[in-house]
Amino acid sequence: MLRLEPRLERGFALLDADHHALDPWLEQLAAEANALIGASSDREAAARLLGSVERFAPFLERHLEDEEDLIVPVILRHGMG
């Protein structure tokens, strides 16, 4: 995509950095979800997962909005599919 839209290099770099930052979040959420599944009546495990989801949600929402603003127009303009 960068070859098609070189002027978006900075935006693509930010999205790439986000993707690397998403990995630890997703690992943490998976571990907490698995802990909750293993102890379904553990209120502390449920509270930890809820807290993590609430902290993660704004980051994920911003990332998806940024991705939509950058990637979707490139796809629509250049017909990548």
Residue 8 lies in a domain: no
DSSP H or E stretch at residue 61: helix 43-78
Residue 18 lies in a domain: no
CA–CA dist 75, 5 (Å, integer): 11
For residue 62, the model assigns a pLDDT of 96
Q: Range of 48's domain?
A: 43-81
Instruction: Give the number of domains in the chain.
Output: 1
pLDDT digits (tens, 9 = 90+) for 3-56: 889 999 999 999 999 999 999 999 999 999 998 888 767 888 889 999 999 999
For residue 80, the model assigns a pLDDT of 72
For residue 15, the model assigns a pLDDT of 95
Residue 17 lies in a domain: no
For residue 55, the model assigns a pLDDT of 96
Residue 64 lies in a domain: yes
DSSP H or E stretch at residue 79: none
CA–CA dist 47, 32 (Å, integer): 10
Residue 15 lies in a domain: no
Asked whether residue 61 carries a pLDDT value surpassing 70, the answer given is: yes
Residue 66 lies in a domain: yes
Residue 54 lies in a domain: yes
For residue 43, the model assigns a pLDDT of 87
Please answer whether residues 48 and 32 qualify as being in contact, where contact means their C-beta atoms are separated by less than 8 angstroms: yes
Residue 58 lies in a domain: yes
